[in-house]
Structure 1
Amino acid sequence: MKENDPHFAPERIARELDWNLLRTFVVLAESHSVTDAAAQLRLKQPTVSTALKRLEDRIGRKLINRSPGHYALTEAGRLLYREAVEINGSVLRLSTLMREMTDDVRGHVRIAVASHVVSPLIDRALAQFHADHPQATLTIDVQSSSKAIAEVTAKRASFAICLVGDHNPGLEYRRVFREYFGLFCGPPHPLFGRDDLTIADLEGHSSVSFETDRLQDVLKPVTVMRAQAALGQKITGVSSHLEEVRRMIISGLGVGPLPVHVAARDLRDQLLWQVPPFEDLPPIDVYLVWSERATKNRAEQILLDALLEAIENTPIEERSYK
Structure 2
Amino acid sequence: MDKHDPQYEPERIARELDWNLLRTFVILAESHSVTDAANQMRLKQPTVSTALKRLEDRVGRKLINRSPGHYALTEAGRLLYREAVEINGSVLRLSTLMREMTDDVRGHVRIAVASHVVSPLVDQALAKFHTAHPHATLTIDVLSSSKALAEVAAKRVSFAICLVGNHSPGLEYRRVFREYFGLFCGPPHPLFGRDDLTIADLEGHSSVSFETDRLQDVLKPVTVMRAQAALGQKITGVSSHLEEVRRMIMSGLGVGPLPVHVAARDVRDGQLWQVPPYDDLPPIDVHLVWSERATKNRAEQILLDGLLQTIEETPMEDRSYR
TM-score interval for Structure 1 and Structure 2 normalised by the shorter chain: over 0.9
Partner of 1:142: 142
Given that residues 111 and 159 in structure 1 are in contact (C-alpha distance below 8 angstroms), is that contact kept between their aligned partners in structure 2? yes
- Determine helix, strand or coil for the equivalent of 1:12: helix
Aligned to 1:292: 292
Aligned to 1:187: 187
State the partner residue of 2:269: 269
Secondary structure in 2 matching 1:296: coil
Equivalent residue pairs, number? 322
Offset at 1:116? 2.7
2:298 and 2:74 map into 1 onto residues whose CA distance is: 38
Amino acid across the alignment from 1:104: D
Q: CA RMSD in A?
A: 0.9
Q: Identity, % of aligned pairs?
A: 89
**What are the within-5 Å matches in structure 2 for residues 207-286 of structure 1?**
207-286=207-286
Partners of 1:130 and 1:43 in 2: how far apart? 41
SS in 2 for 1:51: helix
Deviation at 1:155, TM superposition (A): 0.5
Contact 2:215–2:223, Cα closer than 8 Å, also in 1: yes
Q: Aligned partners of 1:159, 1:23: CA distance in 2, in Å? A: 22
| Residue in structure 2 matched with residue 131 of structure 1 by the alignment | 131
Amino acid at match of 2:156: R
Structure 1 residues 142 and 93, CA gap change in structure 2 (3 angstroms): same
Q: CA deviation at 1:239?
A: 0.4
Using the size of structure 1 for normalisation, the TM-score is: 0.99
In structure 1, the partner of 2:106 is 106
**How far apart in 2 are the matches of 1:317 and 1:308?**
17
CA–CA separation in structure 1 for the residues paired with 2:64 and 2:2: 20
Q: Distance in 1 between matches of 2:104 and 2:60?
A: 47
Which string of whole-angstrom CA distances, capped at 9 and with x for unpartnered residues, describes residues 254-275 of structure 1? Answer: 0000000000000010000000
Give 2:80's aligned residue. Answer: 80
> How far apart are residue 7 of structure 1 and its match?
2.3
C-alpha displacement of 1:96: 4.3
Q: Distance in 2 between matches of 1:102 and 1:253?
A: 55
What secondary structure, in the 3-state scheme, does the structure 2 residue paired with 1:294 have?
Answer: coil
Residue 311 of structure 1 corresponds to 311
Aligned to 1:90: 90
Shift of 1:8: 2.0
Letter matched to residue 286 of structure 2: V
SS at match of 1:177: strand
Helix, strand or coil: the match of 2:66? strand
1:99 Cα deviation after fit? 4.1
What letter matches 2:81 in structure 1?
Answer: Y
Q: Matches of 1:48 and 1:16 in 2, distance apart?
A: 18
Shift of 1:102: 3.1
Match of 1:51 in 2: 51
**How far apart in 1 are the matches of 2:254 and 2:212?**
17
Unmatched 5+ stretches in structure 2: none
Distance in 2 separating the partners of 1:96 and 1:45: 33
Tell me, in whole angstroms, the C-alpha distance in 1 between the residues paired with 2:90 and 2:298: 15
- Structure-1 separation of matches of 2:30 and 2:100: 30
Q: Which secondary structure state, in structure 1, belongs to the residue aligned with residue 93 of structure 2?
A: helix
Partner of 1:60: 60
Q: Distance in 2 between matches of 1:176 and 1:187?
A: 33
Provide the rounded CA distance (Å) in 2 between the counterparts of 1:101 and 1:74.
45
- CA distance in 2 between partners of 1:223 and 1:139 (Å): 32
Are residues 1:71 and 2:61 paired?
Answer: no
Aligned-partner Cα distance in 2 for 1:49–1:3: 28
Q: Name the SS of the counterpart of 1:106 in structure 2.
A: coil
1:162 maps to 2:162: yes
Once the two structures are TM-superposed, the CA of residue 77 in structure 1 deviates from its matched residue by: 0.6
Other-structure match for 1:320: 320
Match of 1:205 in 2: 205
